[in-house]
Amino acid sequence: MRVTEHSNFDTVRNSIDRSKTRMTNLQEQHATLKKLNTPSDDPVGAAKVLEVRTDKVNNDQFQTNAKLAETYLNNTDHALSELSDMIVRAKEIAIGQSSGASSNEDTRIGVAEEITQLYQSAVATANRRIGDRYLFGGFKTHRPPVDADGRYLGDDGQMMVEIARDVFLSMNIPGLDAFNTNPKGSFDAYQVQSGRTPASAAEREMPKGENLENVNVFDELQNLRIALLTGDLSGIHNTLERFDGIHSKIVATRSKVGSRIQGLQGTMQSLERHNITNAGLTSSIEDADMARVVSDLAKEETVFRSALQSSSKLVQPTLMEFLK
Amino acid sequence: MGLPNVMNTGRTGMVAAKVNIATSGHNIANTNTEGYSRQRVQQEAEKPNAGAGSRAQIGTGTKVSRVDRINDEYIAKQIRNNGRDMAHLEEKDIVLRQTEDIFNEMGGEGLNRLVARFFNEFRKLSNDPDSEAIRQSVREASQSMVNDFNRLRKEVDDTRAHMDSRIEGHVKEFNRYADEIRILNTKVQSVEIGGGVPNDLYDKRDLALKKLSEFMDVSMHKDGLGHYNVDVKGMGPLINGASAEFFSVSRSPADAEGKPENALDIHSTGHALGTVTHVIKGGKIGALLEARDQTVSTVLERLDTLAFGVADAVNSIHAQGFTRTGATGVAFFKPLAQRERAAEFLKLSEAVSSSANNIAAAAQLDSPGDNRIAIAISGIQNIKALNEGTSTFDDFYNSIVSDVGVATSRNRSTMSQTKDIQTQLGKMRDQISGVSLDEETANILQFQHMFDASAKVIKVADECLQTVLDLKR
């Protein structure tokens, strides 16, 4: 076989080139700590990484959403708990004043004053805000949902937040649902909604209590106050049952809020787990195995050195040198 | 036979030695000349004289019959074909890497992230639909996404323009080599008619043919006159003896086969229709045409589909909503008339870019807490709206990135195989036609000895003659 200088040098060039290409590649991995530096390094992996990155951005947002919903629901719960205390107090007063034995006009006027206070506190609680948004107004977050006469000015809007992909949860309780025992025109949205359309017409129809009478917190406090002032003992007595209805309605609403919060916490944990899994996945796709890169780099350096060394052997001697 | 004849024998030896040394010298001088094939002197014994009074035939020395070029036409052809493939792959690699770079966001920001952010901002908006700050941030995120669409479209377009300028350059070079072969055909013929063997012209012509084949798929056959006749696959004759066809380029409108608007068309004087853009395959020019009219066109088309899809989906939901000022039917993006070049023309609507209050989040009037439109828009992210309902916008974009990656990596691996074959073929050619300095040095020494010995023959003959002349005295 004829071996010419040209092919000798070519071999030298090729082996140095090849070795250097591999070294540059390893160098890049070493510098970026990533083995996936361009999509062509691993096209399928690259698409997966992009997908997971989007997932991560979304999950972070879902977590923020969930925290916000939690704040809302916690505040709603506090407000409802206060309201429930007020109802209990009003009922105590009503019990105390409903029998003629313990009731006289002076005390009735005295406690009527307390009922007025309770009424005002109840309105204030119903108009509770977070930042500049009213908690109980449904979508009408920009104005107090209950006016001084106890009229509800909000609507039945449920503010849905996405707490996981395609999982929505209402973060508010429209006042109508909390203050009325059997609100007309309102719908009792369930806890967690799948899919994105707000409740359909059929769902709006769904929850209608057995009790056809609609009792309102504010009306009832007013009724009690008037009955106290006019000394209408049977009127006072009549409020008892209705206060019971209101109270159990508030308790039911609170338990609804509570279960939403519980659901939220579960979702937040699963989001966290999801993020960790995703991080592991992207890492396995795009992160370089440093131990391997470093050892490969060392190996490649040896290869490079030996290529240089053998090259010097290969191109050095010519016949000319021996003819001197 | 006389002594002066012996002197002549010595002389022929010296001449032959000189020719051999000269040829070795020529070989050494051209060791690194591209396309050079080593040459070998062919000698034969001179016609012998009949010996005086005997039947013996007495040799009269040597003669240089010809100088051969050592090469293998079959390997030359393989090298040409391989060189064409290699040039094709290398050219494609350049273009694909540029395109890949545009879409490379492995290291950080890119359209994928910006689209994710865009939809996420609507999620933020749904948490607090009445917040001025979040509205501003929705608008900023949307603007960033729009800018990135525009940037990608422009950069890919620039790559395409760059390809056109390369095509133009390659066509010029191609013409130059075609012209060179045409001229060499004439030169070779004129030397051959005189009985000569123009080894160096052969090498030059082979080299020109090799360079020519790097640009496109051509085939060569030799005719009876020793001309190289070259055909372009799919088009017909390019070089026929002493005449050649030439290519030219011009800008023209888009055509049905993927050639974009205002991109270069290639014309040939040798084709009935004149335009040969879609006939040319292989080589550098073939690679550029393929990348320009297929790969990059597809990428742009998909980018446009994406931009159009996003704008359309967002607009159709946004228009149903109510803005903070109570208006409805407001477009979020400036409505796009057509899918074509959508990524280039995508921009925010005037309403939205003039005020963030014109972003609609609510599905009913006068409800600052209503976030249903914002939720619906953020939900577009997960709707399988593209590829006949099989891809979300994210999937669709990610598949552009991965497809460009696949094309690049596949091209690269084929390139490395072809490169190995190229090395192998180069070695084979070198084994046959390459100049070995050691070999030539040995040859020179060998012929130096021959030269010395031949001179010695003359000297001895001279001495013998002297002896004869001295007899008279």
Check: CB of residue A23 under 8 Å from CB of residue B383: no
Check: CB of residue B268 under 8 Å from CB of residue B216: no
Whether A203 has a pLDDT exceeding 70, the answer reads no
Phi, psi at residue B186, to the nearest 5°?
Answer: -65, -45
Residue B41 lies in a domain: yes
State residue A213's pLDDT score.
Answer: 63
Tokens of A257: 């809020």
Query: How far are the Cα atoms of A206, A269, A270, B123, B128 from residue A60, in angstroms, in the given order?
Result: 35, 12, 12, 11, 17
State residue B312's pLDDT score.
Answer: 93
**Length of chain A (residues):** 324
Statement to judge: residues B402 and B443 lie in one domain: no
- Report residue A167's pLDDT band, with 50, 70 and 90 as the boundaries: confident
CATH of domain A79-280: 1.20.1330.10
Q: Say yes or no: A319 contacts chain B, CB-CB below 8 A.
A: yes
Residue B431 lies in a domain: no
From the list A49, A40, A52, the residue with the least C-alpha distance to B101 is A40
Low-confidence ranges of chain B (pLDDT < 70): 1, 52
Q: Give the closest of A5, A14, A50 to B398, CB-based.
A: A50
What average pLDDT score do residues A24-40 get? 90
Statement to judge: residues B41 and B82 lie in one domain: no
Q: What DSSP line would sit under A307-320, residue for residue?
A: HHHHHHHHHS--HH
Residue type, A58: N
List the single residue in B with minimal CA-CA distance to A198. B372
Q: Give the closest of B32, B103, B123 to A162, CB-based.
A: B123
State residue A192's pLDDT score.
Answer: 35
Residues of A in contact with B406 (CB under 8 A): 40, 43
Statement to judge: residues B265 and B389 lie in one domain: yes
Give me the total of CB pairs closer than 8 Å, taking one residue from chain A and one from chain B.
Answer: 188
Q: Give the closest of A44, A157, A323 to B369, CB-based.
A: A157
Residue B427 lies in a domain: no
Statement to judge: residues B92 and B17 lie in one domain: no
What average pLDDT score do residues A139-165 get? 88
Tokens of B449: 């000895």
Residues of A in contact with B441 (CB under 8 A): 318-320, 323
State the virtual CA torsion across B305, B310, B316, B318 in degrees, nearest 10.
-160
Average of per-residue pLDDT values in chain A: 84
CB contact under 8 A, A39 and B113: no
List the single residue in A with minimal CA-CA distance to B369. A139
Residue B432 lies in a domain: no
Which residues 6+ apart lie within 8 Å of A252 measured at CB? none
pLDDT in tens, A297-313: 999 999 999 988 888 88
- Report residue A185's pLDDT band, with 50, 70 and 90 as the boundaries: very low
Strand partners, B277: none
Which residues 6+ apart lie within 8 Å of A167 measured at CB? A192, A193, A194, A267
Check: CB of residue B226 under 8 Å from CB of residue B192: yes
Tokens of B147: 């800018």
List the single residue in B with minimal CA-CA distance to A130. B128
Residue type, B104: N
CB contact under 8 A, B369 and A172: yes
CB contact under 8 A, B434 and A168: no
* Cβ neighbours, 10 Å, residue B123: 24
Statement to judge: residues B414 and B275 lie in one domain: yes
Statement to judge: residues B91 and B127 lie in one domain: yes
Q: Say yes or no: A318 contacts chain B, CB-CB below 8 A.
A: yes
Please state the ipTM of this predicted complex: 0.79
Check: CB of residue A121 under 8 Å from CB of residue A146: no
Statement to judge: residues B132 and B50 lie in one domain: no
Rounded to an integer, what distance in angstroms lies between the CA atom of residue B289 and that of residue B282? 9
Statement to judge: residues B120 and B261 lie in one domain: yes
State residue B1's pLDDT score.
Answer: 58
Whether A275 has a pLDDT exceeding 50, the answer reads yes
Check: CB of residue B142 under 8 Å from CB of residue B332: yes
State residue A207's pLDDT score.
Answer: 44
What average pLDDT score do residues A185-214 get? 42
Check: CB of residue A91 under 8 Å from CB of residue A243: yes
HSE on the CB side for A213, CA within 13 Å? 10
Residues of A in contact with B306 (CB under 8 A): none
State residue A183's pLDDT score.
Answer: 61
Angle separating helix axes B283-290 and B132-193, nearest 10 degrees: 160
Of A169-173, A181-185, B116-120, B267-271, the range with the lowest mean pLDDT is A181-185
DSSP summary character for residue A41: G
Specify whether the backbone of A195 is left (phi greater than 0), alpha (psi in -120 to 50) or beta. left
Residues of B in contact with A317 (CB under 8 A): none
Task: Give pTM, 2 decimals.
Answer: 0.82
Statement to judge: residues B188 and B52 lie in one domain: no
What average pLDDT score do residues A35-55 get? 90
Check: CB of residue B352 under 8 Å from CB of residue B143: no
Q: Give the closest of B120, B371, B435 to A57, CB-based.
A: B120
Statement to judge: residues B22 and B150 lie in one domain: no
State residue A210's pLDDT score.
Answer: 44
State residue A200's pLDDT score.
Answer: 40
Which residues 6+ apart lie within 8 Å of A231 measured at CB? A103, A105, A108
Statement to judge: residues B197 and B55 lie in one domain: no
Residue B330 lies in a domain: yes
CB contact under 8 A, A1 and B431: yes
Give the closest-approach CA distance of B303 to chain A in angstroms.
Answer: 16
State residue A184's pLDDT score.
Answer: 52
Tokens of B282: 């292989």
Residue B428 lies in a domain: no
- Report residue A318's pLDDT band, with 50, 70 and 90 as the boundaries: confident
Residue B426 lies in a domain: no
Check: CB of residue A79 under 8 Å from CB of residue A128: yes
CB contact under 8 A, A161 and B369: no
Angle separating helix axes B297-318 and B372-379, nearest 10 degrees: 160
Q: How far is CA B373 from the centre of its chain?
A: 52
Three-state secondary structure of chain B: CCHHHHHHHHHHHHHHHHHHHHHHHHHHHCCCCCCCCCEEEEEEECCCEECCCCCCEECCCEEEEEEEECCCHHHHHHHHHHHHHHHHHHHHHHHHHHHHHHHCCCCCCCHHHHHHHHHHHHHHHHHCCCCHHHHHHHHHHHHHHHHHHHHHHHHHHHHHHHHHHHHHHHHHHHHHHHHHHHHHHHHHHHHHHCCCCCHHHHHHHHHHHHHHHCCCCEEEEECCCCCEEEEECCCEEEEECCEECCEEEEEECCCCCCCCCCEEEEEECCCCCCECCCCCCCHHHHHHHHHHHHHHHHHHHHHHHHHHHHHHHHHHHHCCCECCCCCECCCCECCCCCCCCHHHHCCECHHHHHCHHHCCCECCCCCCCCCHHHHHHHHHHHCCCECCCCECHHHHHHHHHHHHHHHHHHHHHHHHHHHHHHHHHHHHHHHHHCCCHHHHHHHHHHHHHHHHHHHHHHHHHHHHHHHHHHHCC
State residue B107's pLDDT score.
Answer: 78
- Report residue A232's pLDDT band, with 50, 70 and 90 as the boundaries: confident
* Better-scored residue on pLDDT, A6 or B288: B288
CB contact under 8 A, A160 and B372: yes
Statement to judge: residues B64 and B179 lie in one domain: no
- Contacting A residues, span 118-177, partner chain B, CB-CB under 8 Å: 133, 137-142, 155, 157, 159-162, 165-166, 168, 172
Residue B15 lies in a domain: yes
CB contact under 8 A, A46 and B405: yes
HSE on the CB side for B114, CA within 13 Å? 22
Burial class (CB in 10 A: 0-12, 13-18, 19+), A305: exposed
Question: How many domains does one find in chain B?
Answer: 2
Residue type, A83: L
State residue A320's pLDDT score.
Answer: 79
Domain that holds residue B230: 78-421
